[in-house]
Every structure is written in structure tokens, then in C-alpha cells.
Structure 1
Amino acid sequence: MTAALAAPTDRAPARRPKKRPRYGTHLFLVVMAIVWLVPLGWALFTALRPKVDTDKYGYFSLGGAFNFDNFVTAWNQGGFATYFGNSAIITIPTVVLTLLFASMMAFAVSRFSWKFNVTLLIMFTAGNLLPPQVLAAPLFEMFKHFNLPYSVSDSGNLLNTYTAVIAVDTAFQIGFCTFVLSNYMKALPMDLTEAAFVDGAGVWRQYWGIIMPLTRPAFAALGTLEVIWIYNDFFWPLLFIQSGNRLPVTTAINNLQGQFLSNYNLLAAGAMITVVPTLIIYLALQRQFVAGLTLGASKG
């Protein structure tokens, strides 16, 4: 018995294959990171320099002083406090409505088998293939002839209102969010909703109490993307809103333009101020964003 235990085994321990170093991948990622960060770093560098020093030494120089005077001037001259409030009024309801309606539609086409679920999903996603600018003139005319009481709209129609921008942004974003959420919900086991149905749970209970909590990672990823996209939208607010005090922050940089001369240091400071909210949101939700993108990658 002792000899048998002491006898060497015939099979050698299995060796794990060594991972090959991915120098090419790392080099590619480093180069792409530099390509993306150089313009941002150069804009910050320009914003910190007074225009007098830039004119004296040139844009491609290191001489002169560095301070935050351009940021203070841009904030006061551009009226960023008002424009940030306008962007919040447009962005927050749009993101909430988009995710709510898209989740309802995704739940219907992914958890139930009925005659037109695939057709409806295709129609929703096909809407993203149409360039938004093609519908600019029809939507403008439609909102122009949509009469409202002056107590609701000072223009007597949907133009020059936040509602017009919120409605259009929501309509154009629902298709993409429905496509992503429906694919995610299809990966969830059907046994969850079937067991809930047997226990007496209705459709709303299945949607709100079972499926919605399980889609939080996907919601975090989509919410981050939607906030960035809608916050940075420039076309629709500029088309539907005529009052300058209702425009979002993406249009505030126009107030920094001179009539005869452009102060690019001031414009760079205004651009950096505009970037701050989206950067904060991304950094705050970075973990949930990455988890939402990678979740489901290993599902069979």
C-alpha cells in the first residue's frame, strides 16, 4: 500500500498554455488613446493661456502665463448657468421617457409571441436608418401648425418649446434603445416570467417586478449613452427653439463669437466647460457602463 502510494504517477501535471503577449493590441490601444486625447489636451492647454500670450508666442509654444481667466470670462459672457438649466430640462425628461417606452416595447417583443412582434421590432429599428435631417422640414411645418393656447406656448404652437425637442429626441432614440433592450431581455430565462404567471403575476408585475430589476446594467449603459447623445444634440434645439434664453448649452458657444474677431482661447474654455457634465456622468457611471456593455457577452 505504501509502495503504491509512493510510486510516481505516469501522467505529468498538465501545463497551462502560456499567454502570448499582445504587443500589437496594446500598441494599437495606446495610439488610439493618444489620438483621442491630443485634441482634448490641446483645447485645455489653449483655454488656460491668455490670448495676449498666444498672439505673442504663437499657438504652438509654451511661453507665457497660465490661468483660469478664460473660463471665468466664458462662463459670464456665455451665460452658461442659464444654458445648463435648459439642457437639463431637455435631457432628463428625454432620457427617462426614452428608456421607459423602449423598455415597454422591448418587453412586449421579447417576452411574448404574437403575430407582429418581429415586424414591429423591425419598424422601430428601421427608423434609425433614416437621416434625421430628412424630416426637419416636415416636422417644422407640423409643429408650426399644431395650435396650442398661449397660456401653454407663447408662440401659439409647438415651436419655441422644450416639448418639441423632447418629443423629437425621444422618437429618434426609442428605436436604438428598443433594439438593445430586446436583445438583452431575450437572453433572460423564460422560466422567470412563466413561473411568475403561474403564481398569478400579471403582465405589469412581470415587467416592473421581475424583468426591470434584471436589466439594470443595460439601463446604466444606455442611460449613459443617451445622456451624452441628447446633451450634445445641436440640430433639433437650434431648429425648433427661437428664443435665445431657451437654447441648450451646446449653443452657448455662439455667444463667445466676436463680430469681427474670434478669441479661440475663449472658445476653447467654453468648449471645455460644455464637456464637464458629460465627463462627470461618464466617470460616475463608468463601472455600470462597462458592465452593461460586457454583460451577456459570454451567454450561449
Structure 2
Amino acid sequence: MAEDRKKAGFVVLVGRSNVGKSTLLNALIGTKVAITTPKPQTTRHAIQGVVNDERGQVVLVDTPGIFRRAPDRLTSRLNEKARESLEGIDAVIYVVDPTRHVGEEEEIVRRLVDAVDKPKILVLNKRDLQGEFRDEYLDWQDDFDAVVEISALQEKGVARLLDVLFPLLPEGDRPYPDDLLTNLSDSFRLEELIREKVFLTMRDEIPYSTTVRLHETADRKDRTLYLRASVITESPRYKRMLIGQGGLTIKRIGQAVRKELEAVTGRKVYVDLDVVVEERWKEAFE
């Protein structure tokens, strides 16, 4: 009897901003791969995470949320990245938030998904919140191969989503080694972690004007992990706010980074952060 062929494929997570795509990616992978915050523009790059089990391998691609308006180069490029991620994939997981009304932004995403001639799963996230607009999204169910209701935050329904997904994928060889969880470099993940803490620490307007640049990581003789990075912002006014009175705000950001890294690595961590003004950094964003 011939051995059963394994399934393998690239699957894109798509949806408007703040529907829980990155939280779902982390839940599917079983560890933190993508940063998560309650703020839009948290995800700025297409991030890959890998699921391996006896059925095969799924390469999940988390995408930036789609924005109806693009007031600057950064937002425009985020929209482009989301659209580009729909090319050359094997299936689509379209994540929606039934606590939010279907509006113009959602219709833009839906049209993008409709144009993809691949298997599609509609995922209603945040089932724990009993979204009042659930029926608006269920009206679309005939356009999808399956509908799955989940809570990514509570990791409920995630196993069923994989059960539904694997049969929709083609047979093939695994694109990545079995022990790989993500294609992200360590330096990129550190920059993203710092940016996450900036988003969680600062008021609404500041995170969207910032990015992070890692300059150095080093293992010191006492096994302390040392990292030095800059928080880049576009305005001297934001620089003052990021530093805070007596340097308290940037210190608080560094402490949050240190706490998470020490919990993950089991090592002492020293975080050396400064704030730099680059007024046109968004224009160079790729």
C-alpha cells in the first residue's frame, strides 16, 4: 500500500486591521512569532510562521491590515504588502471581527479575497465576545469553502481550524525543516519586540511615528545578553515624549523588553535604548 502523501502549502492570513491575525498566527504556531497590540499598524511586514504535524506542513503568512485611506507612504506600503501576500499562495484564511460592523474597509478586503482562485476559509474571531454583527459575516458563508468560529486570544477553535485547513492544501514536500517555527531573523524579532513595547507604552499618536533599529547584540562574559537599539521617530516633539521626564519613559520601555527576554531566555538581559529623530524614515520604509 502506498504511503499517504503529506500536505504542504503557503496560507495567507488576511483581514482589516486589529481583527486578531497576529494573535491567531501565534496561537497556530504555539509560540510568539508576531507582536500583538490593540493598535493599528502593529504588523508592518509579511511574517511567516510554520506549523508542523503528522499531516504535513503549513507556512502561515501574517499580513498588515488593510486601510481604507493611505495618508502617508507607510500606510500605502502596508496596503501594498497585504495585497502582494495574496500572490502565489495555496489557501486564504480571511479573519473578521464580528464585534465590528461590515463597512467600506471590510468590503475592500472582501473584494481582494474574492479575486483569489484558491481555497478560502472565513474565520470569525473573538467568539468569546459574542459579536453583535456575526450574522452580517455569516451571510458570506456560501462564498467560502468553510467557516470556523474561534477565539484566537483564548486559543479556542484553533485545532478545528487546522483540521479544516489541511484537507484543502495540495500534497507536496515540506518547504522548511521540521524544527523551524519562523523565517524571521533574531535581529528582526528583537526590533519587533522593542516596537511592541513602544506601542503598548505610548499614547495613541506616537507609535505610528516610530520604528526601531537594532545596532548590536552581544553575549557578555557573565552570560548577560546585551542589546543596543534606537527608537526612530519623525519629530523632536515625539522624541521628548518617548524619552519622558528624566528618561523615565524610555526606561520603562527598556524594562518591558528586558522582562520578556529574561522570561524567554532564562538569562540576564541589559537593554540600552536611545531615541533618534529621522523626519523622513517613513519614505524609506520597505
Normalised-by-shorter TM-score class: under 0.3
Determine which structure has the larger helix proportion and give its number. Answer: 1
Structure with bigger RCO (C-alpha 8 Å, 6+ apart): 1
Larger Rg: 1
Determine which structure has the larger strand proportion and give its number. Answer: 2
Give the TM-score taking structure 2 as reference length. Answer: 0.22
